Chains A and B, each alone.
Chain A
Amino acid sequence: MSKISRAIREIQTMEELAQRDQWVNRIHPLVKLFLTVFYIAVVVSFPKYQLTGLLGMMIYPLFLFEMGELSVREALHRLRIVLPLVCVAGIFNPFFDREILICWGSFAISGGVISMVTLMLKGIFTVLATYLLIASTSIESICYAMRLIHIPKVFVTQILLIYRYITVLLKETDRMMQAYALRAPGQKGVHVKAWGSMMGQLLLRSMDRAEELYESMCLRGYHGEFYCGKSVGFLGKDLAFLLIWTAVILIFRLFPVLEYVGSLFV
Chain B
Amino acid sequence: MSHIHIEVKDLSFAYEEKHPVLQEVSFLAGEHDAIGLIGANGVGKSTLLKLLVGLQTDFEGSIRVEEIPVQKETLTQIRQKIGYVFQDSDSQLFMSNVYDDVAFAPRNYGLPEPEVDRRVMQALEMVQITHLKDKPIYKLSGGEKKLCSIATILSMTPDIILMDEPSVALDPKNRRNLIHILNGFEHLKIIASHDLDFILDTCNRVILMDQGRIVKDGKAEEILSDQGLLEAHSLELPLCYGSRHHVL
Contacts and interface: CB of A to CB of B under 8 A. Distances in A.
- Most A CB within 10 A of own CB, among B82, B86, B90, B91: B91
Interface of A: 12, 15-16, 19, 138-140, 164, 209, 212-213, 215-223, 225, 227, 229-231
Contacts of A225: 108
Contacts of A139: 96
Nearest to B134: A19
Contact of A220 (B88, B90, B138, B156): B156
Contacts, number: 67
A169 to B, nearest CB: 13
B84 interface: yes
B98 to A, nearest CB: 12
Interface residues of B, number: 32
Given A209-B91, A227-B108, A231-B113, A219 B53 contact: yes
B152 interface: yes
Contacts of A229: 100
A220 B105 contact: yes
A213 B105 contact: no
B184 interface: no
B27 interface: no
Contact of A230 (B53, B91, B113): B113
Contacts of B136: 12, 15-16, 19
Contacts of A231: 113
Given A220-B104, A220-B152, A138 B92 contact: no
Closest 9 CB pairs of A and B: A221-B108, A212-B91, A220-B105, A227-B107, A216-B92, A221-B109, A221-B105, A219-B84, A213-B94
B164 to A, nearest CB: 11
A216 B91 contact: yes
Nearest to A208: B91
A88 to B, nearest CB: 34
Nearest to A21: B134
Contact of B96 (A19, A209, A212): A19
Nearest to B53: A219
Contact of A164 (B75, B76, B94): B94
A220 B96 contact: no
